[in-house]
Structure 1
Amino acid sequence: MFAIYVHDLSPVIFRITDQIQLRWYGLAYLAGFLAGAFLLERLSRRNLWVLPPGSAGDFISAAAIFGVFLGGRLGYMLWYWPREHGWGWITEDPLVIFRVWEGGMASHGGVLGLVVFTWFYSRKKKVSWTGLGDGLCVVAPLGLFFGRLANFINGELYGRTAEGVAWAMKFPATLVDRKMIENESFGPAMLAAAEVEPRLVPYLGADGIPRDASIYQAAMSFQQHVPFGSASNPEITVALEPFLEARHPSQLYEALLEGALLFAILWWVRVRYPHAPNGLLTGLFFVLYAVFRIICEQFREPDSKMVGAMTSGQFLSLFMIAAGAVFIAVAVKKGPTKTLNAES
């Protein structure tokens, strides 16, 4: 009666060619930026942000490029990638930094990128750095919300195994996870999938193990040719189901806590306390995001090497809590602000 749902959503909304396609992940970023720009404009018109009305669009566009994308990708390549692949990419294949589909981006890196970006932007516009960041931090959880929903649709960043959880789910992508490849269920699962998808047969040996010397690379080739869990071939999902473990839908946990709940809290504080000192909302974002991330990581399958008893996400969140505490302490010491921008 538990874990009856097997994830079978496709990451692609529509496909023109293999190179030209619209994916949910890209749409999630767009939705986050549009929602952020819309709400920042509302805050500005209500005199609740340091930039004047009409500035939100330009600010969000620049923040997306120089903060989210650049910071997120650099964060991944400097923290997560070396922990799995080493530092050889710097000299052997530096262009991998532009191939965001290989590994992706790091949310902590995106946050740090936005911190640096807002500092430079505030100097250019001659406004308060912490006041500028407060507005961004209020709307940023919406981007996190849409991003985690896209993670769920992609079937990635799934949770740890769950026993007796009524809403637990099975994710076919676990079969091509580096940590799961040598699981004893892998070979039988591949044979079961090959019975309904002949395109898998050339890749498999008689025991279901890939002929390729690298099991991981072969499995990733399967996923490229026949995406596991894709709605285009539901028979594969049915064939793989007996070999899959029930897991927490941790992407949805993160969407609700790091996204929806965090946004609701920060929006309420911004509107309820219009004269809150600059930097307070930034500090609250850092602390609450980090706390929610640490909680959610307890249910999420670690996607990188552990740091002692903590996941990488939990370890990096400790620094966010410390930084958030500093922002809050400085804000409280400064006291309430009078007016954020000159226009109402």
Structure 2
Amino acid sequence: MLTGLSFPTIDPIAFQIGPMIVRWYALAYIAGLLLGWRFCIILAKRGPIDVDPKKFEDLLVYVTAGIILGGRLGYVFFYSPSFFLQNPMEIFMIWRGGMSFHGGFLGVIVAAFVFASRNNIHTLYLADILACVAPIGLFFGRIANFINSELYGRVTDAPWGIIFPNGGSLPRHPSQLYEAFLEGLVLFIVLITANYMTKARFFPGTLLGLFLLGYGIFRSFVELFREPDSHIGFIFNNITMGQILSVPMIFIGILFLYMAFNYKNREF
């Protein structure tokens, strides 16, 4: 019989004030959004174009709306279209769970385009800044997934396998921590290094391309260890929905990098 590490005793509820319950998942969203927003302002001050940092004060509202609306609709259309078609009111019940990163990413793209257009900011320049801070939210989000004992990995005999409260009696890969490390910490280091140590920020679309390429590779890799959604399973053979949605990001990222490196007009 396989044996694994015990899941740490962590209450999904961070604290409670009277009838108000605050969960770690909510705090993860708040921390990711606030830290990402503040770091956006820091990056904006570095140039290469002259943008009033005060314009970014409204950015938080746009990004939050993009994440919530895009994340929810992405989950509806990518993961459970038949269920929500039969139960349309469930779409609005976000507190019951069900968010998609890929949908949230598309939502942020739309929000960034609208924000950039209204504030006369170069769209790809803004996208590069958002790409640099996105791993912050990914890191906190995956840690929250771990605390909630959700999105765990497949059964494993690895010595670091964990027996999750919601994952049965067998040890599983802590795939949430794999993602927090790769999509959060490693990708953040790569993007910030490119921003500060190279001239990447002078070529619009470069940092966005790096993010898309890096996330697509890391997510596709971790999907090899992550348990597929129970109501979907494998799409075909051992291919998961997460991989199907991530592989296009790799090719789009390469396209953005190619376009950035061949960008002739460097005047913003």
Deviation of the 1:305 alpha carbon: 2.8
Deviation of the 1:2 alpha carbon: 5.3
Q: Secondary structure at the match of 1:334?
A: coil
Structure 2 letter corresponding to 1:170: I
1:307 pairs with one of 235, 245, 252:
235
Q: Within the alignment, does 1:334 sit opposite 2:263 as a pair? A: yes
Extract structure 1 runs of 4+ deviating beyond 3 A. Answer: 48-51, 335-339
Structure 2 letter corresponding to 1:47: G
Q: Within the alignment, does 1:251 sit opposite 2:176 as a pair? A: yes
Matches of 1:336 and 1:2, distance apart in 2 = 59
Structure 1 gaps of 5+ residues are 176-243, 340-344
Q: Secondary structure at the match of 2:94?
A: coil
Deviation of the 1:336 alpha carbon: 7.6
- Identity across the alignment (%): 40
Q: Within the alignment, does 1:116 sit opposite 2:42 as a pair? A: no
Alignment root-mean-square deviation, CA: 2.0
Instruction: Indicate how the Cα distance of structure 1 residues 48 and 32 shifts in structure 2: closer, same or farther if over 3 A, else same.
Output: farther
Deviation of the 1:335 alpha carbon: 4.5
Q: Within the alignment, does 1:295 sit opposite 2:221 as a pair? A: yes
TM-score normalised by L of structure 2: 0.91
CA contact (8 A) 2:219 2:242 kept: yes
- Aligned counterpart, 1:232: none
Instruction: Indicate how the Cα distance of structure 1 residues 100 and 48 shifts in structure 2: closer, same or farther if over 3 A, else same.
Output: farther
- Aligned counterpart, 1:225: none
Instruction: Indicate how the Cα distance of structure 1 residues 104 and 279 shifts in structure 2: closer, same or farther if over 3 A, else same.
Output: same
CA contact (8 A) 1:43 1:49 kept: no
Larger Rg: 1
Quick one: higher RCO (CA 8 Å, sep 6+), 1 or 2?
A: 1
Matches of 2:223 and 2:102, distance apart in 1 = 14
- Aligned counterpart, 2:167: 174
Deviation of the 1:276 alpha carbon: 3.3
Deviation of the 1:300 alpha carbon: 0.7
Matches of 1:254 and 1:9, distance apart in 2 = 19
- Aligned counterpart, 1:276: 202
Matches of 2:51 and 2:58, distance apart in 1 = 11
Structure 2 letter corresponding to 1:53: P
Instruction: Indicate how the Cα distance of structure 1 residues 337 and 271 shifts in structure 2: closer, same or farther if over 3 A, else same.
Output: farther
Matches of 2:234 and 2:116, distance apart in 1 = 37
Q: Kindly provide the CA deviation profile for residues 302-340 of structure 1, in whole angstroms up to 9, marking residues without a partner as x.
A: 11332213110011001111221221122112158456x
- Aligned counterpart, 2:45: 45
Q: Secondary structure at the match of 1:292?
A: helix
* Number of corresponding residues: 263
Structure 1 letter corresponding to 2:115: Y
Deviation of the 1:50 alpha carbon: 6.5
Q: Within the alignment, does 1:320 sit opposite 2:249 as a pair? A: yes
TM-score normalised by L of structure 1: 0.72
Deviation of the 1:96 alpha carbon: 1.3
